[in-house]
Structure 1
Amino acid sequence: MAGLFNMNRNGVAYVVTVAVGVCLVCSVLVSAAAVYLKPLQTQNAKADRRQNILAVAELGGPGVDVNKVFDERIEARVVNLETGEYASDLEATGFDQREAAKDPSTSTKIPPGDDPAGVKRRANHAEVYLVRDEQGEIETLVLPIHGYGLWSQMYGFIALAPDGETVKGINYFEQGETPGLGAEITNPKWQQVWEGKKIYDDNGEVQLRVIKGNVGSDTPDAEHKVDGLSGATLTSRGVSGTIEYWFGPRGFKPFLRNITDGQIGKG
């Protein structure tokens, strides 16, 4: 320390020494803040996720105790996407689907020709959320979905009726699309037009998609079509691709088949 005070304050050595010292102090402070705030960030992320799940299941709203309602009404499970069965060795608490998708040991690389959603690598397991009524029967299924739009991966939840194909709601909560265009996927008015739409045709093939323009009373197969986003063709295609992938055989289709057949999901 004495050496520092004896330095020529106009010299290069002094300036460099002070700069390095300031950088070290700032680094220590930033690291300490990150460690201190990590639990709070994790807690906030959990609360935000729960809030979005309740919103798409129509259980949210002003004044709602998110954690209380979630714990009382929602059953969170982890599903093996290949078999469509619950993963007995994984608990929903602590499972992070995004992190699992980054690890080659817990994920699968998707060939481009089989990847209409632009997922690239999919976790082998996924979270699912079952809303039960007072009798313990499934009232709503909430499933996480994501796919690439024009600029970004778009993350959301979709709520289905117990038949595993009728849409009750959709909620995109994270995206980086163009404001006023593709970002309209977060607009509640557009999300409302999904209600009542059907995912599958009579042969069990995914037919639900976003079209160019609006769906009218004279639109063929209107139950499988959603109004397009004006000026956002690539975002619309991304949403359609997301639905095609996640409700196909490499997504939630095996799980939904098990639910509707009564193989799993009993109260």
Structure 2
Amino acid sequence: MSANKETFGKTVGFVLAVCVVCALLVSFAAVQLKPLQTANKLLDKQTKILEAANLLSATDGSAKSIVATFEKYVEAKMVDLDSGEFIEGNPDLFDERRNSRDLAKSDKPQNDIAGINRRSHDAVVYLVRNDNNQVETVVLPIVGSGLWDLMHGYVGLEADLNTVKNVIYSDHKETPGLGAEVLNPKWIALWPGKKIYDQAGEVKARLVKGGAKAGDIHGVDALSGATLTSNGVTNTLQFWFGEEGYKPFIAKFRAQGVK
């Protein structure tokens, strides 16, 4: 009996030792990989912003070229969404997802058509300048519900803050071949030149089931077989370019000029 107890004790001790060693290895790997993961996440973000600004073609596709192009042409600035004013703050430390979970830093929208639940008081906008230091593009982050979860992306606007350069999604959980077609270059290519607002200042950008008609300056073809995702994209645009989104910022800097 004592021999069996000794064998059982050794087995338990061995298992515990293996668990401790594995836990230490996993923790060590996580710590060591964290800087690389952070750098890759930042690179992906910069890549999507350059794509929204139609500047990705100005790079050779390498990480070094993407970072250099971003740092040369793109300026990130904090904005108070309610007033539309630029505010002090470090854009590199801003986290929209974290802010939207903080009751002190976010509000529940009165008309939450985007399905985001809470909206951060602040946002980061990206001013993209040309070689003459003139703002050519403004890239605005967007987020809204798709079929399965929130979809995050960027809308690049020309300096009139109405004409679309690109709509680029960066993070989603939509179904491959259906809602995930937001990443299809053919669908992305439908956006350049479309208008967000009509002459009365109403948000008219939308996805059109069955396809947008020729000459429709606001409509883009809906995603085939992905009605809920398409509705989500439309609602996201309606929300973020409305009064509770970027409209105060857009109205202010259309009138005053973006410096």
Q: Same fold (TM over 0.5)?
A: yes
TM normalised by structure 2 equals 0.92
Partner of 2:107: 108
Long gaps (5+) in structure 1: none
Structure 1 residue matching 2:154: 3-state secondary structure:
strand
Distance apart, 1:252 and its partner CA = 0.6
CA contact (8 A) 2:106 2:120 kept: yes
1:163 maps to 2:157 = no
Distance apart, 1:14 and its partner CA = 3.2
Paired residue for 2:148, among 126, 131, 151? 151
**Residues 207-216 or 16-25, more deviating:** 16-25
Distance apart, 1:7 and its partner CA = 5.9
Distance apart, 1:138 and its partner CA = 1.2
Long gaps (5+) in structure 2: none
1:147 maps to a residue whose letter is G
Q: What is the identity percentage for the equivalent residue pairs of Structure 1 and Structure 2?
A: 45
Instruction: Please provide the CA RMSD for this pair.
Output: 1.8
- Could you give the per-residue CA deviations for residues 171-190 of structure 1, whole angstroms, max 9, x where no partner exists? 11211111111110110110
Question: Could you tell me how far apart the structure 2 residues matched to 1:261 and 1:34 are?
Answer: 49
1:234 maps to 2:251 = no
1:257 maps to 2:251 = yes
Distance apart, 1:198 and its partner CA = 1.0
1:20-35 mapped onto 2 (5 Å cutoff): 20-35=16-31
Partner of 1:97: 96
Question: Could you tell me how far apart the structure 2 residues matched to 1:253 and 1:183 are?
Answer: 28
Aligned length: 253
1:87-236 mapped onto 2 (5 Å cutoff): 87-88=87-88, 90-111=89-110, 114-217=111-214, 222-236=216-230
Partner of 2:242: 248
CA contact (8 A) 1:213 1:229 kept: no
1:72 maps to a residue whose letter is K
Partner of 2:81: 81
Paired residue for 1:42, among 38, 47, 54? 38
CA contact (8 A) 1:148 1:238 kept: yes
